[in-house]
Amino acid sequence: MATTIETADITLIVDKREDKGTNPSGRLRAEGRVPAVLYGGGIPPVPISVDDLAVREILKQEAGENTIFLLKLKGTTEERQAMIKELQVDPISGKFIHIDFIRVTAGHKLNVTIRIDLIGDCAGVRHGGRIDFQSRDLQVEVLPRHMFDHVDVDTTDMEIGDVVTVADLEDKIPESAKFLEDPSRVILVVELPRLVEEEEEEELEGLEDLETEEGAEPEVIGKGKEDEEATE
């Protein structure tokens, strides 16, 4: 089931960003700040910068990127609930490259990504099968007061051949929430290991290699005297 998350007791103070472009953004990152943009609330986007460590504290919360917190824009009277909409991370250094924040407005639904967590000791796995986990993250639309970050799928009674789709999870999310996915999208399948198929593929590859060797042109090492005379 999905567990509704309370608004975190966190205040994030951000600076308005006047200079834009690659060089100013690079200088910000060197100072331990991350270039960002604040969207939503019927207000034009505001370029801002935020302390790197402060963002990491938010991500440590139970809801991760779906954490709702209080955002204060330094030098203004703006003080609104907000959350992270998109986070760009350097895959090598792990440093934040850019962040999009969105204002949270009561009564207005948000589009967020939630994860699927598998729980239980799957019966099908105990009987020799395996779980093919095809969809680990899903998009949902939900009211801020019903925000959640994951759905648990209990595999305890699942046997070989059983399938879980998005439609099967509809009753596990808050009433105000809605999946933004094809209801028939497969989340997981309990199936037999594909050992037989892999062995057949290996046998076919072996036959193809043998046919290639038998049909190959023999290598000419050198010509005898009679051959040389025949070609003159």
pLDDT over 90 at 158, yes or no: yes
Q: What topology is assigned to 11-105 in CATH?
A: Ribosomal Protein L25; Chain P (2.40.240)
* pLDDT digit string, tens, across residues 32-74: 999 999 998 888 999 999 999 999 999 998 888 889 999 998 8
Distance CA 159, CA 190 (A): 7
Task: Give the pLDDT mean for 107-116.
Answer: 90
Give the helix/strand (H/E) hosting 118.
Answer: strand 110-119
Place of tokens 């919360």: 61
Per CATH, 11-105 and 111-191 having the same topology is answered no
Torsion of CA 72, 75, 78, 83, to 10 degrees: -30
Write down the pLDDT at residue 195: 55
CA 141 to each of CA 54, 83, 114, 167: distance values in angstroms, whole numbers, following the listed order: 27, 14, 10, 15
Residue 222 has a pLDDT of 45
Identify the pLDDT of residue 18.
82
Per domain, the residue ranges of the chain are: 11-105, 111-191
Burial of 182 (0-12, 13-18, 19+ CB in 10 A): exposed
Cα–Cα dist 70/83, whole Å: 9
Q: Using CB atoms within 10 A of its CB, is residue 135 exposed (0-12), middle (13-18) or buried (19+)?
A: middle
Q: What is the number of other CB atoms lying within 10 angstroms of the CB of residue 8?
A: 18
9 or 229: which carries more pLDDT confidence? Answer: 9
Q: Which helix (H) or strand (E) holds 179?
A: strand 178-179
In the predicted model, what is the mean pLDDT of the chain?
Answer: 84
What is the pLDDT confidence band of residue 211, given thresholds at 50, 70 and 90? low
pLDDT at 230: 45
pLDDT confidence of residue 221 = 40
Q: pTM of the prediction?
A: 0.67
User: What are 133-155's pLDDT values in tens digits?
Assistant: 999 999 999 998 888 889 999 99
pLDDT-wise least confident of 22-26, 32-36, 157-161:
22-26
User: Which of 172-176, 181-185, 192-196 has the weakest average pLDDT?
Assistant: 192-196
Candidates 3.20.20.110, 3.40.50.720, 1.10.3720.10, 2.170.120.20; CATH matching 111-191: 2.170.120.20
The more confident residue out of 214 and 179 is 179
